[in-house]
Amino acid sequence: MIDIERLKRHHPIIKDISEQKEVVWVNPDKTTFEEAIQGQELTMADIDDAEARLKRFAPLIMDHFPETKPRNGIIESELVRIPAMQALINEQYDSELKGELLLKKDSHLAIAGSVKARGGIYEVLKHTEDLALENGLLTTEDIIGEGNPEAYRKLATPDAREFFKRFKVQVGSTGNLGMSIGIMSAAIGFTVIVHMSADAKQWKKDLLRNRGVQVIEYESDYSEAVKNGRALSDEDPRSYFVDDENSRTLFLGYAVAAKRLVGQLEELDIKVDEDHPLFVYIPCGVGGAPGGVTFGLKYMFGDNVHCFFVEPTNAACMLTGMASGLNSEISVQDLGLTGLTHADGLAVGRPSGFVGGVMKPHLSGEFTVKDGKLYDYMRDLLKSEDIFLEPSACASFQGPVRLNKATETKLYIATRGLSDKMGEATHIAWATGGSLVPEEMREEYKNTYLKD
């Protein structure tokens, strides 16, 4: 039994979280990159392996999803400058954000329209490859390097689909992960079951059902959907459960994004080094996507990148876990919060203990944001840049808005000798979803105004 009152006394920020206050937290356990990677379970070799696997599957992806042909079957998003949004942030929120603000448009990733198209689709493809190797559909020669394109194309034939139909893929989700797992698994031919929590939007359930995916709905939160999904999957030896809370495979799929970001920054003539720091702000639910992206970024840019997660005030599970030191042993419900939020993709009560442990020496800090601001930031971006994101994705803008206003982050910048370098800084708001939102839902979002 957790003594919450004692926890609040020892960690005052826990008290603020329990009162649904917007907070800024700087990670006291962050260390240098070289120290942080000592003894860690995953390495750069694991990220390279994930990248190579995605390249091997590119021909099959193009066959199933023609919209990926312009990128030769590689599922990747644009990195774009958003100067009008930066000007609006500085004027409207008195933020004094220096340097340059960019948007990483994982909101527009092909197939699933969210950051989950990275980890989710990657895990389905790795499971597909494993089954194909075990059952003679692929050989070890086919998977050397970037593989044999024609061999991977054979996995899209009617005979291959009949084979994969004998196997199930299951996942628990608040929405976007279920979409990526469901869409790709159904395309391969798997029998797919997505266990969705009460927070999941109806349009996401409808889209999955239209793709032939079975959706099981729960009246409770994300953790319960995961628990039930895992239990049902464990009963069936032919069922594979995608474990968002603990999956190393998902994590590595997300991490590949960082390798590709290097080239995108170079294309924009943007430097990242000791004199040109990079700040990245990523919405966070259970932690897999932002954790994987951050892990990859640290390997690419080391101590020159500063990564911050952003969570809703009513579902700040990763912050609660990391600030208390309890990781997955504590939930926001233990603090008296419901975990319910308009940011459906972030509506998670208990964080991934695996991710919390990996992030302990890497993560710079966290921001929390009230639901009403998600809609404000959404309208701000639409007004200034004519770009639509779903509300949960707009959590990322809390970072640029608060960075130079919060005492905690101002001190972070000063103590790391960055104060005189912020004019040369690059800031990336990581947009996690939105392109598949139906037009009627977009109109509803645009006209949603919440009081604090």
Give pLDDT, residue 148.
Answer: 82
pLDDT band (50, 70, 90) for residue 187: very high
Average pLDDT over residues 254-276: 98
Distance of CA 22 to the CA centre of its chain: 21
Average pLDDT over residues 398-427: 98
pLDDT in tens, 209-252: 999 999 999 988 788 888 999 999 999 999 999 998 899 999 99
Average pLDDT over residues 160-186: 95
4-43+66-112+249-446 and 115-245 have identical folds:
yes
Average pLDDT over residues 392-406: 98
Give pLDDT, residue 146.
Answer: 67
* Tokens, residue 215: 């959706």
Phi, psi for residue 406 in degrees, rounded to 5: -85, 135
Give the lowest-confidence range in 73-82, 92-101, 136-145: 136-145
Average pLDDT over residues 200-214: 93
The Cβ of residue 8 has, within 10 Å, a number of other Cβ atoms equal to 18
Give pLDDT, residue 175.
Answer: 84
Tell me which H or E stretch contains 426. strand 426-431
**What are the domain boundaries of the chain?**
4-43+66-112+249-446, 115-245
pLDDT(53) > 80 = yes
- What is the dihedral sign for C-alpha 167, 214, 393, 26? negative
What number does CATH give the domain 4-43+66-112+249-446? Answer: 3.40.50.1100
Mean pLDDT of the chain: 96
Give pLDDT, residue 345.
Answer: 86
Largest CA distance in the chain: 62
What number does CATH give the domain 115-245? Answer: 3.40.50.1100
pLDDT(309) > 80 = yes
pLDDT in tens, 108-129: 999 999 999 999 999 999 999 9
Q: How is the chain split among helix, strand and coil, in percent rounded to 5? A: 55, 15, 35
